[in-house]
């Protein structure tokens, strides 16, 4: 019984963390919109081009997508070909999701994390900055969003697998009784 409570609280913490991070990054959309409006207004209204401001839009945009992917997965808003899926039972959906996470999500996240290691490490080592004159420093942070993506997707993937296993076990328990 205690094991079940610990598993439940662990998953609840993962879910809550994903929700908080996802909502935080969703607010960055407003910041991104404001930065883009400023870039456009300055460029076309005053003939002023600020590379650093354009770079900041890149940073915020990357954060929204790389940081918000796990929240998208949690809310079941990711891309899916669901011609058949939507008509399936909860048990069949849980089985498909579990197998999909194990076969596709975790290997892809692991591949991205491992294959980007040299790319990110070199960027940090040389303290990579914007290639544009007048751009922002710290492009190594932007590249590190890859690991943020892998970390958050891995955590949410674990949560999704536990949730799908629970659905499968509940159905099995109700069929046994």
Smallest CA-to-CA distance from 72 within 31, 33, 19 is with: 19
Determine the pLDDT at residue 1. 39
Determine the pLDDT at residue 25. 92
Compute the distance between CA of residue 38 and CA of residue 34 in angstroms, rounded to an integer. Answer: 6
Smallest CA-to-CA distance from 162 within 21, 10, 19 is with: 10
Determine the pLDDT at residue 5. 45
Q: pLDDT tens track of the chain, all 177 residues?
A: 344 444 557 788 889 999 999 999 999 999 999 999 999 999 999 999 999 999 999 999 999 999 999 999 999 888 777 778 888 899 999 999 999 999 999 999 999 999 999 999 999 999 999 998 898 999 999 999 999 999 999 999 999 999 999 999 985 656 554
User: Residue 108 in contact with residue 150, Cβ under 8 Å?
Assistant: no
Residues 6+ apart with CB under 8 A from 163: 11, 94
Determine the pLDDT at residue 94. 94
- Cα 10 to chain centroid, rounded: 19
Determine the pLDDT at residue 65. 94
């Amino acid at each position: 019984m205690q094991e079940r409570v610990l598993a439940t609280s662990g998953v609840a913490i993962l879910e809550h963390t994903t929700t908080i991070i996802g909502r935080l990054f969703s607010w960055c959309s407003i910041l991104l919109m404001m930065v883009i409006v400023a870039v456009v207004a300055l460029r076309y209204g005053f003939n002023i081009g600020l590379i650093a401001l354009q770079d900041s839009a890149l940073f915020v945009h990357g954060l929204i997508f790389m940081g918000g992917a796990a929240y998208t997965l949690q809310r079941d808003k990711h891309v899916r070909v669901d011609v058949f899926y939507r008509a399936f039972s909860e048990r069949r959906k849980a089985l498909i999701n579990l197998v999909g996470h194990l076969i596709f999500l975790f290997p892809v996240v692991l591949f991205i994390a491992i294959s980007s290691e040299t790319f990110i490490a070199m960027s940090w080592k040389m303290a990579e900055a914007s290639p544009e004159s007048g751009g922002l420093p710290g492009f190594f942070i932007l590249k590190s969003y890859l690991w943020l993506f892998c970390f958050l997707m891995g955590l949410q993937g674990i949560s999704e697998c536990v949730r799908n296993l629970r659905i499968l076990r509940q159905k099995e328990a109700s069929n046994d009784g």
